[in-house]
Structures are given as C-alpha cells and as structure tokens.
C-alpha cells in the first residue's frame, strides 16, 4: 500500500465520522507517522509504506475518528511559528490569540518589562512574548500542576527558562509584586453553552479552562479586579474574551479604573481581545 492509498482510506474513515477536515487531518497524521513534513510526503505519494507504519496510522485515524483533537494526538501545536507541547491538561492554542501577541509586541518592542500570564496553560502566550521582548521577564501562574509541567517543558524547549518563572497557585494570592503587563486567556464560556461545543473541545479540552460560570464572566471579573492592585501605574491588561462579551467586559473595566486602548477582532470580525490601561 502506498501513501496515497493510506491517505484516501484515512480520509474516508474520518469523513464517515463527520470530521470536516478529513483530508488534511489524514495527511497530517500520515506525515507524522512517516516522520516527514506534509509537503515532503505529498510529493512522494507513490512511496510504499511498511506494515508497522500502516498499523500506526490506522491507530491515529481511530483516535481522530473519536474526535480527539489532532494537537493532542500529535502532542504539539504550532503557535507564533513555534511548536508547543500540549496535552489534555492544556487548551489547544488558537490563532486569534496571536492577534493579542502581535499588538503587545508592537507596544513593548525594545522595552524592559515584567509580565504576568494568568492561567498560563501550555505557556504559549508568555513564552512567545518573551521570545520577542528580549529584555523582559515573565511569570506564569496556573492552578493546574499538570499544565505547569507542560509550560516548563515548553520554556526549556524554546530556551527561555532563564527569564520565566512558574507558580502553582491562584492569581488571587499574589500580593508582593507589581507588573507592567498582565495577559490572560481566562475561561469565558457560559456553563450552559459548554454542552453545545464541538465534541473535540467538549470531551477533550480541560473544563476548568473553559467554564466561565453562569454569565461567562466569573474569572474575567476576578482578573480585572485583582489586576487593579498588581499592575503598575499605566500598566496594561490584555484579555481574551468570548463572542458578544465586549460591552459587559468594558463596563467592568471602566468600573475598575481601566481605559480601553485597543479592541481587536478575530478572523470572523468578532471583538475577542481587549487591551486596556490602568488609570489611578
């Protein structure tokens, strides 16, 4: 059996399991088994595949057919042109989060700042920021010990461990330090909406990083309130929010002495990022 035959078989199996990205997922999984880039594999579709690789590919297709995300199957996800280790303890990084990084890097390029990442997860936001902001240091905080294990691995992988510190506790317990920049992609989904999520998110991604309570704003409110006390004068709070939450979050920010500097839209024209400045 050659590569093309396997891709076709995998595509058919995924299509039957209602995986919309059936063809590309089949190609990605086979390229992973073969240890080649997808592009390299696609120009050698006549290559004969040995039995061991055929069996490995079939197992991966079965996992994807059960709706397990590709990122968890491969144990990595690309973000900010870097590969980050992920697993079921961390959210899968999304492209809209890169919009936040792009803006923050423009604001702070060449500056020396200290950054707090609330709910750091895989560490992808903080590590990516520090890879660009060479003079800065960062603190990643998360209540999940398993997520922090992954974040530490990613920091080491990207050679940034010397200027990043991780803490396993709630951000509400920070009292002894002030920051120039606080970033957070907090849980913002309404509890009632979680059951309507796609299967690959609902069944596999960590619920604690998704569930924002009855109004989706439980953690966002706490982050804003706490940030008011641990940001320096004119410090910036950068938040990722859910669809349709801009007006509510804006009101909470205003009540806590924040002024909105930028609001960024995702690729579907929804406001998903708020960058605000603390005014005292």
* 84 shares a domain with 41: no
Q: At what angle do helices 3-16 and 51-65 cross, to 10 degrees?
A: 20
Whole-number average pLDDT of the chain: 95
Would you state the structure tokens that stand for residue 56, as one six-digit string?
């490995």
Judged against a pLDDT cut of 90, whether residue 73 lies above it is answered with: yes
Among residues 173, 171, 200, 192, which one has the least CA distance to residue 183? 171
Query: In which domain, by residue range, is 218 found?
Result: 77-278
Q: Residue 269's pLDDT is what?
A: 92
CATH number for position 267:
3.40.50.150
HSE value, Cβ hemisphere, 13 Å, CA-based, for 264: 20
Q: How does pLDDT run across 18-58, given as a tens digit for each residue?
A: 999 999 999 999 999 999 999 999 998 999 999 999 999 99
In a domain, 72, yes or no: no
Report the pLDDT averaged over residues 154-180. Answer: 94
* 102 shares a domain with 45: no
Place of tokens 């997860």: 121
Confidence of residue 190 (pLDDT cuts 50, 70, 90): confident
The dihedral formed by the CA atoms of 260, 125, 120 and 116, expressed in degrees to the nearest 10? -50
* 266 shares a domain with 177: yes
Confidence of residue 197 (pLDDT cuts 50, 70, 90): confident
* 53 shares a domain with 97: no
Among residues 127, 108, 10, 120, which one has the least CA distance to residue 59? 10
Q: How does pLDDT run across 128-152, given as a tens digit for each residue?
A: 999 999 999 999 999 999 999 999 9
* 248 shares a domain with 109: yes
Q: How does pLDDT run across 207-261, given as a tens digit for each residue?
A: 888 988 889 899 999 999 999 999 998 999 999 999 999 999 999 999 999 999 9
Expressed in angstroms, the distance from the first to the final Cα of the chain is 68
- d(C-alpha 76, C-alpha 103), whole Å: 25
In a domain, 85, yes or no: yes
Judged against a pLDDT cut of 80, whether residue 280 lies above it is answered with: no
* 119 shares a domain with 9: no
């Amino acid at each position: 059996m050659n590569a093309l035959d396997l891709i076709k078989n995998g595509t058919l199996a995924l299509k039957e399991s209602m995986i919309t990205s059936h063809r590309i997922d089949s190609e990605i999984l086979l390229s992973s088994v073969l240890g080649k880039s997808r592009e390299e594999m696609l120009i050698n579709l006549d290559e004969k595949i040995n039995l061991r690789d055929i069996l490995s590919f079939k197992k991966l297709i079965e996992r994807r057919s059960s709706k397990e995300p590709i990122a968890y199957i491969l144990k990595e996800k690309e973000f900010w042109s870097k590969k980050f280790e992920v697993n079921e303890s961390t959210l899968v990084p999304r492209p809209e989060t890169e919009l936040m990084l792009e803006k923050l890097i423009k604001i702070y390029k060449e500056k020396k700042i200290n950054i707090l990442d609330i709910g750091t997860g895989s560490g992808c936001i903080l590590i990516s920021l520090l890879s660009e902001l060479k003079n800065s240091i960062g603190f990643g905080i998360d209540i999940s010990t398993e997520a922090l294990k992954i974040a530490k691995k990613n920091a080491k992988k990207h050679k940034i461990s010397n200027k990043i510190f991780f803490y396993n506790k709630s951000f509400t317990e920070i009292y002894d330090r002030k920051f120039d920049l606080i970033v957070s992609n907090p849980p913002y989904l309404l509890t009632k909406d979680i059951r309507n999520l796609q299967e690959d998110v609902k069944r596999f991604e960590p619920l604690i990083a998704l569930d924002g309570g009855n109004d989706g704003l439980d953690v966002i409110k706490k982050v804003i309130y706490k940030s008011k006390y641990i940001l320096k004068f004119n410090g910036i709070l950068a938040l990722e929010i859910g669809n349709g939450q801009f007006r509510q979050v804006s009101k909470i920010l205003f009540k806590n002495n924040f002024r909105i500097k930028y609001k960024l839209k995702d690729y579907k024209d929804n406001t998903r990022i708020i960058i605000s400045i603390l005014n005292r």
